[in-house]
């Protein structure tokens, strides 16, 4: 087990990088605690695999150092790093049985036969592979093969960390949900450091205690699912987390009010003070869940045009136009009587102000 330190790590796949855009990873300076369940979340191409491969040693960063428990391992090859890695697609020996595949990482490390058998049976049970242990891997479905790959990642208890690179991509949705739960269980029992890469927010938010959000080669926020939802530090996190993402509306300030289209929206004292100190372009952010929609004018409400309503079963998503800004509201049951015009209210405690894309917060 290990604490992982990324000391000013950056990486470019180009031999002589010139500016920032030549870097797949711009600058990562971070410490990940021993035993944490981390998810690396971000859109395709943002640098997740690059970062994972730098941790496992498949890639040497062009700048910076990687430390495990304070020891510099930047130049150690993968096999000397004591890390398990599970890839997007199955990596296994087709001619071996499931048992032999699962036993392989342990055999390699010189464990004795009894210990190997005990651990393989344990992992097979977790992954529902017990009945296939004697089958040749080649004869199994894609799902089952990927489960074996997961098993090979989980089988050693003496690793510094287990890295998962979008491991459930080839798994069907129902099984995906089950396996995610199992991985979480295994993490809780093993207390190993798990780093789980995904572009799927649901996967990240259900698996991890800490989610690391990446965007264009940089980490934009590390936080619990709740922190990311309530206080996204960057507009990108606001968009990317939540479904639909956070609403943003350009605004100005007038005393304790944010002004949108000539209407004042009351802010709490702390938020208003932050807005006043800021010199950047201000935007008001609010989650669709907290935007109140009313059929008639009420105190402190702002009129908006209803564009559409989508039914999602136990909730509806209303799309509105407020002075050219498209907003979404997540409606509870019983708001069906709103048709063309709606009156919006912004509860103070859920308003966030952003300046130049960044959340204004107290330091
Ligand atoms: P992610 O895993 O988040 O989808 P990657 O780490 O694979 O992102 O890629 C980050 C960026 O680096 C992308 O722009 C990608 O095209 C580029 N890249 C990835 N691997 C290579 C490589 N072997 N050679 C050159 N460019 C690469
Ligand atoms: Mg990737």
Q: Domain boundaries in the chain? A: 4-14+21-239, 245-359
Residue nearest to atom 21 of ligand 1 (CA): 13
Q: How high is the pLDDT of residue 192?
A: 93
CA 279 vs. chain centroid, Å, equals: 31
Report d(CA 319, CA 311) in Å as an integer.
Answer: 12
Q: Is 39 in the pocket of ligand 1 (CB under 6 A)?
A: no
* 363 vs 232, more confident: 232
pTM above the 0.85 mark? yes
- pLDDT per residue as tens digits for the range 253-299: 999 999 998 999 999 999 999 999 999 999 999 999 999 999 999 99
The per-residue pLDDT for range 178-206, each reduced to its tens digit, is 899 889 999 998 989 999 999 999 999 98
DSSP state of 337: T
Tell me which architecture the domain covering 4-14+21-239 has in CATH: 3-Layer(aba) Sandwich (3.40)
Give the pLDDT confidence of 130-168 residue by residue, as tens digits: 999 999 999 999 999 999 999 999 999 989 999 999 999
DSSP per position, 48-113: HHHHHHHHHTSS--SEEEEEETTEE-TT--GGGTTEEEE-SS----TTSBHHHHHHHHHHHTT--H
Contact partners, residue 265, CB within 8 Å, separation at least 6 = 251, 257, 258, 259, 284, 300, 302, 346, 351
CA distances from 64 to 28, 47, 71, 161 (A): 9, 16, 14, 20
- pLDDT at position 353: 98
CATH fold match for the domains 4-14+21-239 and 245-359: no
For ligand 1, atom 26: residue with the closest CA: 13
Instruction: Tell me if 47 CB under 6 Å of ligand 1.
Output: yes
- For atom 13 of ligand 1, which residue has the closest CA? 45
Phi, psi (degrees; rounded to nearest 5) at 238: -60, -45
- Asked whether the beta carbons of 340 and 307 are under 8 A apart, the reply is no
Question: For ligand 1, is residue 255 a contact (CB within 6 Å)?
Answer: no
- For domain 245-359, the CATH class is mainly beta
| CA of 274 relative to ligand 1 center, distance in Å | 38
**pLDDT exceeds cutoff 70 at 89:** yes
Say whether pLDDT at 338 is over 80: no
């Amino acid at each position: 087990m290990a604490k992982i330190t990324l000391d000013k790590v950056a990486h470019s796949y180009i031999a002589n990088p010139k500016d920032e855009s030549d870097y797949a990873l711009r600058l990562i300076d971070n410490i990940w605690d021993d035993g944490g369940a981390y998810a690396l979340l971000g859109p395709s191409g943002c640098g997740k695999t690059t970062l994972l491969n730098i941790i496992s040693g498949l890639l040497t960063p062009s700048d910076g150092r990687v430390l495990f428990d304070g020891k510099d391992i930047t130049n150690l090859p993968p096999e000397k790093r004591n890390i398990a890695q599970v890839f997007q697609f199955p990596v296994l020996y087709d001619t071996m049985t499931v048992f032999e595949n699962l036993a392989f990482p342990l055999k390699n490390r010189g464990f004795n036969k009894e210990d190997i058998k005990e651990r393989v049976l344990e992992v097979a049970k977790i992954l529902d592979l017990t009945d296939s242990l004697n089958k040749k891997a080649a004869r199994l479905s894609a799902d089952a093969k990927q489960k074996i790959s997961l098993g090979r990642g989980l089988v050693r208890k003496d690793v510094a960390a287990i890295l998962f690179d979008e491991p459930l991509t080839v798994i069907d949705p129902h099984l995906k949900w089950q396996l995610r739960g199992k991985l979480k269980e295994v993490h809780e029992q093993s207390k190993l450091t798990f780093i789980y890469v995904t572009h799927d927010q649901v996967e990240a938010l259900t698996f991890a205690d800490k989610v690391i959000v990446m965007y264009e080669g940089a980490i934009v926020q590390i936080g619990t699912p709740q922190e990311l939802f309530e206080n996204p530090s960057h507009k990108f996190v606001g968009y990317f987390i939540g479904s639909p993402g956070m609403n943003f509306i350009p605004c100005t300030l007038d005393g304790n009010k944010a002004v949108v289209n000539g209407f004042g929206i009351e802010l709490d004292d702390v938020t208003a003070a932050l807005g006043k100190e800021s010199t950047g372009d201000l935007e008001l952010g609010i989650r669709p869940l907290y935007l109140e929609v009313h059929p008639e004018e009420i105190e402190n409400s702002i009129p908006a045009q209803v564009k559409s309503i989508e039914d999602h079963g136990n909730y509806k998503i209303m799309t509105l136009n407020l002075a050219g800004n498209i907003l979404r509201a997540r409606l509870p049951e019983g708001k069906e009587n709103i048709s063309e015009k709606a009156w919006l209210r912004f509860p103070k405690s859920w308003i966030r102000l952003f300046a130049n894309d960044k959340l204004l917060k107290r330091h």
